[in-house]
Amino acid sequence: MQLHHEAEALQKQAREYYEQAYRLQMDGRVAEAIKLYRLSLETFETPEAHTFLGWAYSYLGDYDRAIEECTLAIEIDPEYGNPYNDIAAYLMQQNKHAESEYWLRKAILAPRYNSRHYAFYNLGRVYERQGKWFEAVRQYQQAISLEPKYHLAALSLLNLQAKLN
């Protein structure tokens, strides 16, 4: 019973570090956020902390480290969808659009993913850059059907439809 309480205490402390890191990152204090994400991971390793640490690295343009962190997140929890989408986004930043399609498909199929609309939107962007416009339209529509207030997907859909007319 004592071990269970100790594990819960470590998880709670790690969560507090993680949440504080997120707030720092949103305030543009990325270096400080990275330190706290690492502290969170040292306290209790979670896929979320790895994913968000990767996101912090991406703010610095360090996409290789960002991808490494997301890969660690997937090793911990292959059902967590965020790191798949994030890897794809980082590959897209490196103009590796074809490679990103694989990761986006994994994100779409991930059982534990509350922001699936991002993966559909990003897949639409990949298809649009590849000139697969009708497939891109379908992906943007899917993103909007999942999240009707996702204005970026709606704008991308309108712009693409205008090109097709």
pLDDT digits (tens, 9 = 90+) for 98-135: 999 999 999 999 999 999 999 999 999 999 999 999 99
pLDDT reported for residue 164: 87
pLDDT reported for residue 9: 86
Q: How far is CA 123 from CA 107, 111, 153, in A?
A: 10, 18, 11
Specify whether 11 is located in the same domain as 76. Answer: yes
pLDDT reported for residue 165: 80
Q: How many CB atoms lie within 10 A of CB 64?
A: 10
pLDDT reported for residue 85: 97
Number of domains in the chain: 2
The reported pTM is 0.91
Instruction: Report CA torsion sign: 66, 145, 134, 157.
Output: negative
**Helix 133-146 and helix 116-129: axis angle, to 10°?**
170
| Percentage of residues of the chain with pLDDT beyond 90 | 91
Specify whether 89 is located in the same domain as 147. Answer: no
Contacts of 34 (CB under 8 A, 6+ apart): 21, 53, 56, 57
Any idea what the CATH number is for the domain that residue 86 is in?
1.25.40.10
Specify whether 55 is located in the same domain as 35. Answer: yes
